[in-house]
Amino acid sequence: MQNKLDRLNFDNRFINLLPADNETANHRRQVEQACYSEVLPTAVSSPQLVAYAHEVAALFDLSAVDCQSEDFTQIFSGNMLAKGMQPYAMCYGGHQFGHWAGQLGDGRAINLGEVLNQKGERWAMQLKGAGPTPYSRTADGLAVLRSSVREFLCSEAMYHLGVPTTRALSLITTGEQVMRDMFYDGNPEWEKGAVVCRVAPSFIRFGSFEIHAARNNVALLQELVDYTIRIDFSHLGEPSKEVYLAWFEEVCVKTAEMIVHWQRVGFVHGVMNTDNMSILGLTIDYGPYGWLENYDPDWTPNTTDKEQRRYRFGNQPQIAGWI
């Protein structure tokens, strides 16, 4: 039986134009010579739709009836795939708190594909909390309702504050229990599991390029750069030395503009590692974020950064420049 979302027009250029991981088994590993690994979301027992953003649904030409359907809940909880979906996790590395961390990748995010809407816009769909991937390392790949609510609400709030950001389509509880140590004090507890569907033109990060540079894989690095320019910066023209320089300049400008907006609204990201920095200058990966109450340039919401305060409010422009 055809589900109601099969009319979505998936383009999926990322996986069609870039090299895949040769291994298809879903186990933790170092992934070489590839930009992504194919992986399916983990099925859940009892998904329930908590909320959806009608403005984001409109980007996919989805109606309220579509979003309130059982098919929608099953698909965006990871239990079912719509026609054209080709799930995968991205390979990338990153500098974390100023130090090279090696391969990181989508440890609890699974991309469903890229959709072309009726306006010709390309939007990538990504499930956060949909289970383990080859990049999960020692983690379970899951998310809890507490953090998922924060991501869903903040994505849309930031958009309406005029801040460049990823968007959120849906928030769905899974019916599963997930163990988390909320305060990092050695007292983990069971919490409700949830999945958020995140949306952006692209989820490519600074770390997507760093991993290939660190491995001295110049050919794959250039392949990814050329792809990014042709798909997301096509106005610059075909890749060339001059276009590479113009692209780098535009990435710098977009990042600076994003930081200006953060400072304008008193937003503190909390984890400005290079695996959390979008090549499009979008706010991405809402983790231990927060907003200033009183003006305090030394404030950070990230308790794991409370000693060095590397990612404190007043240091965000310098960190973006360091990146």
- The letter for the amino acid at 179 is M
Helix residue ranges per DSSP H, the chain: 13-17, 54-59, 64-67, 70-76, 145-160, 206-214, 218-232, 241-265, 316-322
Cβ-based neighbour number of residue 279 at 10 Å: 24
Q: Which of 124, 128, 12 is nearest to 60 (CA)?
A: 124
Q: Residue 194: in which H helix or E strand, if any?
A: strand 189-200
Say which of 6, 71, 232, 275 is annotated catalytic: 275
- The letter for the amino acid at 71 is D
Q: CB–CB of 228/55 below 8 Å?
A: no
275 is an active site residue? yes
Cβ-based neighbour number of residue 67 at 10 Å: 23
- If you count DSSP H runs as helices and E runs as strands, how many of each does the chain have, helices first? 9, 11
Return contacts of 67-76, CB within 8 angstroms, 24+ apart.
67/170, 69/4, 71/3, 71/4, 71/5, 72/4, 72/5, 72/170, 73/47, 73/48, 73/49, 73/172, 74/3, 74/47, 75/3, 75/5, 76/127, 76/169, 76/170, 76/172, 76/195, 76/197
Spatial distance between the Cα atoms of 319 and 262, rounded to a whole number of angstroms = 13
Catalytic residues, by residue number, are: 275
